Amino acid sequence: MTAALAEKTPATPPPAAEVTPPAGNRRRGRERSYDDVPRWQIYVPLGVYLLFTLIPFYWMFLFAVRPAGSTSLAPWPMTGEHFEKVWTERSFAVFFQNSMIVGIATLIATTLVALAGGYALARFDFKIKGAFMLALLCSQFIPGALMLVPLFEIFKNLQMINSLGSVVIAETVFQLPLSIILISGFIKNVPVTLEEAAWVDGCSRFRAFCAVVLPLLRPGLIAVGSFAFVHSWNHFLFALMFLSEQDKQTIPVGLNTLIGADSVDLGALAAGGVIAAVPVVIIFAFIQKWLITGFSAGAVKG
Amino acid sequence: MAQAAAVAKPPKVPRRRSANPRKLPYLLIAPAGLLMVGFIAYPVLSVFYYSLQNYNVTKPWRNGFAGFDNYTKIFTDDDQFWSTLGFSAQWVVTQVSLQLVLGLALALIVNQSFVGRGISRAMVFSPWAVSGVLTSTIWILLYNSSTGFSRYLADAGIGDYGTSVLSDTGTVFWAATVSELWRGVPFFAILILADLQSVSKELYEAASVDGAGRIRQFVHITLPHLRDAIILSTLLRAVWEFNNVDLLYTLTGGGPAGVTTTLPLYVANTGIEGHDFGYASALTTVAFVILLFCSIVYLRLSKFGGDHK
């Protein structure tokens, strides 16, 4: 069985490799004028755009680390006073933990449910398939913000107000349509013959899926999972509405409280912003390569 | 070991695998389906139901069936509906067109091969991971009139900034636009870059052998190839920019003087702060219908998925 699998594996789409073509043949040949853009035409606009992207991040970092009252544009002397303040006094330690719980739970729930649904869409023809696809697409037009009232009533009836579970469910539900479409696109890219080979070798459908399809889905799962995490980490209104107790709140709500304070403490606000930004920006920096591969494999063609 | 079982009882394998070939797909979509029925379809129906009611928590004695009164009021007696709808349109069109142009340019740049491409990509795309509230946080720090960027400009003798650009009705639109562009452009850039990866290199080679310059290659190869991705991503982004309230809610609060209130923000204010759930639900329904109508017209006009090369 393993031998049959090993033989088939090279037939699958190459994962991240496609993003960066081998360096060797880039400069080869005069005729490849499309690739031979004058360097300044790349570096000058890119540099301008990098400034536009990075100055705001730097500004927040600067306000977070420089002492209150300082107007220096350099980040030194550095102080941790603002971080200490938001982390303990403004209970960002609690918010951080809650956001992590919501983010990870949403990631797991979205990935599992979308994997099942995406597999059904990619590998089966069934009666309500068209209707299901249509429902997925239509749900993209429904504004989550405008459904707050009925959702609030549902969670009230389920006695889930002030429980992180309500936010996890709401985030998962609104992540699902896109995640299912993405994952089914990735699964379609895995040749069905690979699975069939495993069935012939005696694997059940489930085992064949776990052993053959799942490893090849890794870039897709990373893309979908990180989407779900980043979204639920960032999303604001559900947490604002469904979690009224302060020790249940998440980071965006904490930030909003700092913004709305009567006299805005800019140092604390900036420190809170850094705490909110660090996890998602780090995750994003690592996964952006897979995201691009993932999109070109799944979404755009799917 | 699975192999041994297969050899021992060959006929059993296909039967076990296809035990419920009809039921399996339904079983697989059941979790997603149930969640979506319970937490999307049912709430949508109840929004429509509420829209036909007088349903105001602060005035319970008036509650009850209202027929189409809420809808009549929207179209005949609500100036705020029209002004917020107008601002929504202005906001969506500005955002989507600027994000598309800048995102396309950015994608074309980082699709080239150059030293430091990986790190540059990670950096220019990073605002995409940032939330509306965090974007507000960052730009509030930049726009702050006493310690923000403008203060340093003024100190250097460039311009005179008495008040924050966020509290001036003349500048608030562009201030909000720039901050939303900051995190919106990467979205387009990522999607377009993903699609650029799949353009066949041979096409460009053939074109340049035939003497087509870079601009002609862009117009005749790149743009047609990106067509569907551009249509789809502009639509998704337009819907998203229309619906999202995080940024404007926290950056401007819809102000000053209500000039940055979008329709969804107006709905949220009516429902959550005004407790008038019936009227907010009617506004929601109208917003949804407008959005759906515009999307269908857009897809028709752009001939999405149509024959092209």
On the question of pLDDT at A14 being above 70, the answer is: no
Instruction: Fill in the amino acid letter for A182.
Output: L
Q: How far is B170 from chain A (nearest CA, A)?
A: 22
Q: B25 and chain A: CB distance < 8 Å anywhere?
A: yes
Q: Do B131 and A234 touch (CB under 8 A)?
A: yes
Which among A180, A113, A118, A259 is positioned nearest to B246, based on CA atoms?
A259
Residues β-bridged to residue B276? B56
DSSP annotation of B274 reads: S
Chain A residues whose CB is inside 8 A of the B141 CB are: 59-60, 63, 266, 269-270, 273
CB B124 within 8 A of CB B110: yes
CA-to-CA separations, B309 to B105, B219, B228, B300, in angstroms, rounded: 22, 12, 11, 18
Question: What's the Rg (C-alpha) of chain B?
Answer: 26
Beta-carbon separation of A252 and B25 below 8 A: no
How does pLDDT run across B205-243, given as a tens digit for each residue?
888 888 777 888 888 888 888 888 888 889 888 988 998
pLDDT number for residue B81: 93
In three-state secondary structure terms, B65 is strand
Average pLDDT for A54-75: 86
Helix (H, G, I), strand (E, B) or coil at B126: helix
> Which chain B residue lies closest to A25 (C-alpha atoms)?
B113
Q: What is the pLDDT of residues A145-180, one digit of tens each?
A: 668 888 888 998 998 888 999 999 999 998 898 889
What would the two tokens of residue A214 be? Answer: 């799942």
Q: How far apart are alpha carbons A243 and B150 in whole angstroms?
A: 37
Look up tokens 């041979």; give the residue.
B202
Q: Kindly determine whether residue B124 and residue A34, on different chains, have CB atoms separated by under 8 Å.
A: no
Which chain B residues are within 8 Å of A30, Cβ to Cβ? none
Predicted local confidence at residue A246, as pLDDT = 83
Name which residue leads in pLDDT, A34 or B282.
B282
Note the pLDDT tens digit of each residue in A286-296: 787 777 776 66
The CA distance from A19 to A297, in Å, is 11
Q: Tell me, what's the pLDDT at A107?
A: 95
Amino acid at A186: F
- Residue ranges of E strands in chain B: 53-54, 64-65
Q: Which of A152-156, B17-21, B45-49 has the lowest mean pLDDT?
A: B17-21
Which chain A residues are Cβ-neighbours of B209 within 8 angstroms? Answer: 31
- Distance CA(B150)–CA(B84), nearest Å, equals 29
pLDDT of the residue at A36: 67
Quote the minimal CA–CA distance from B140 to chain A in Å.
8
Confidence of residue B128 (pLDDT cuts 50, 70, 90): confident
Q: How many CB pairs under 8 A join A and B?
A: 304
Q: Rounded distance, CA A269 to CA A34, Å?
A: 46
Cα separation, B196 vs A261, in Å, equals 45
Assess contact for A296 and B198: CB atoms under 8 A.
yes
Please tell me the predicted confidence (pLDDT) of residue A240. 87
Local confidence band at B3 (pLDDT 50, 70, 90 cut-offs): very low
Phi/psi of residue B64, nearest 5 degrees: 150, 180
Is A173–B113 a contact, with Cβ atoms under 8 angstroms apart? no
Strand partners, A215: none
- Between CA A85 and CA A82 the distance in angstroms is 5
CB B25 within 8 A of CB A120: yes
CA nearest neighbour of A185 among A14, A301, A13, A16: A301
The answer to whether residues A167 and A252 touch, using CB atoms and an 8 Å cutoff, is no
DSSP secondary structure letter of residue A261: S
**DSSP reduced 3-state for B64:** strand
In single-letter form, the type of residue at position A109 comes to: A
pLDDT of residue A262: 65
Please give the pLDDT value at position A199: 86
Q: What is the ipTM of this complex?
A: 0.84
pLDDT tens for each residue of B143-184: 887 777 777 777 776 766 667 788 888 889 999 999 999 989
Average pLDDT, stretch B246-267?
88
Q: Where are the beta strands (DSSP E) in A201-258?
A: none
How buried is residue B192: exposed, middle or buried, by Cβ count under 10 Å (0-12/13-18/19+)?
buried
Higher pLDDT, A29 or A253: A253
DSSP designation for B301: H
Between residues A241 and B94, the one the model is more confident about:
B94
Q: B191 to chain A: which residues are within 8 Å by CB?
A: 295, 299-300
Range A180-196 average pLDDT: 86
Distance from CA of B138 to the nearest CA of A (A): 6
Give me the mean pLDDT over the B35-45 stretch.
Answer: 90
Whether pLDDT at A19 is above 50: no
For residues A58 and A55, give the distance between their C-alpha atoms in angstroms, rounded to a whole number: 5
Secondary structure class of B231 (helix, strand, coil): helix
Q: Does residue A67 or residue A301 have the better pLDDT?
A: A67
Structure tokens at B143: 């726009």
Take residue A36 and report the two structure tokens written for it: 């031979």
Nearest CA to B140 out of A268, A108, A38, A145 is that of A268
pLDDT of residue B159: 67
Res. B112: pLDDT tops 90: no
Q: Among the listed ranges A92-96, A170-174, A209-213, which one has the minimum average pLDDT value?
A: A209-213
Q: Do A170 and B214 touch (CB under 8 A)?
A: no
A60, A154, A295: residue with CB nearest B141: A60
- The reply to whether residue B194 touches residue A295, judged by beta carbons under 8 angstroms, is yes
Can you give the pLDDT at residue A235?
A: 86
Q: What is the pLDDT of residue A202?
A: 83
Nearest to B267 by CA among B19, B51, B107, B65: B51
Residues facing residue B65 across a β-bridge = B53
Q: pLDDT value at position A211? A: 86
Would residue B168 be called left, alpha or beta, if left means φ above 0 and alpha means ψ between -120 and 50 degrees? beta
How far is Cα B50 from Cα B280, in angstroms, rounded to an integer? 9
Query: What pLDDT does B305 receive?
Result: 64
pLDDT at residue B106 tops 90: yes
Helix (H) or strand (E) holding B86: helix B79-111
Length reported for chain B? 309
Q: Would you say residue A222 has pLDDT above 50?
A: yes
Distance CA A171, CA A186 (A): 22
Whether B297 contacts chain A with CB within 8 A: no
d(CA A299, CA A107): 19
Q: Residue A38 — very low, low, confident or very high, per pLDDT cuts 50/70/90?
A: confident
- Whether A193 and A8 have beta carbons less than 8 Å apart is answered as yes
Taking CB atoms and an 8 Å cutoff, what residues of chain B touch A73? 152
Distance CA B122, CA A17 (A): 17
The answer on pLDDT for A203 being more than 70 is yes
Q: Which amino acid is at A66?
A: R
Cα dihedral sign, A63-A243-B34-A216:
positive
Segment A87-94 shows an average pLDDT of 89
Q: Is B56 helix (H, G, I), strand (E, B) or coil?
A: strand
Name every chain A residue with its beta carbon within 8 A of the beta carbon of B138: 56-57, 59-60, 273
Position B44 pLDDT exceeds 60: yes
* Residue pointed to by tokens 């409280």: A257
Give dist(CA B228, CA B304) in Å, integer. Answer: 6
How confident is the model at residue B11, as a pLDDT? 46
As a whole number, mean pLDDT of residues B126-141 equals 89
Question: At a CB cut-off of 8 Å and minimum separation 6, what does B144 contact?
Answer: A266, B151, B164
Residue of A nearest to B210 (CA): A31
User: What pLDDT, on the 0 to 100 scale, is given for residue B15?
Assistant: 45
| Nearest residue, CB atoms, B16 vs list A141, A204, A289 | A204
User: B93-108 burial string, b = 16+ CB within 10 Å, else e?
Assistant: ebbbebbbebbbbbbb
Please give the backbone phi and psi of residue B276, each rounded to the nearest 5 degrees, phi first.
-95, 80
Name the residue facing A292 among B47, B193, B292 (closest C-beta).
B193
Task: Kindly tell me if the per-residue pLDDT of B13 is higher than 60.
Answer: no
B110 at interface of A, judged by CB pairs closer than 8 A: yes
What does pTM read for this prediction? 0.82
Q: Are the beta carbons of B121 and A37 separated by less than 8 Å?
A: no
Percentage of chain A exceeding pLDDT 90: 27
Confidence of residue B62 (pLDDT cuts 50, 70, 90): confident
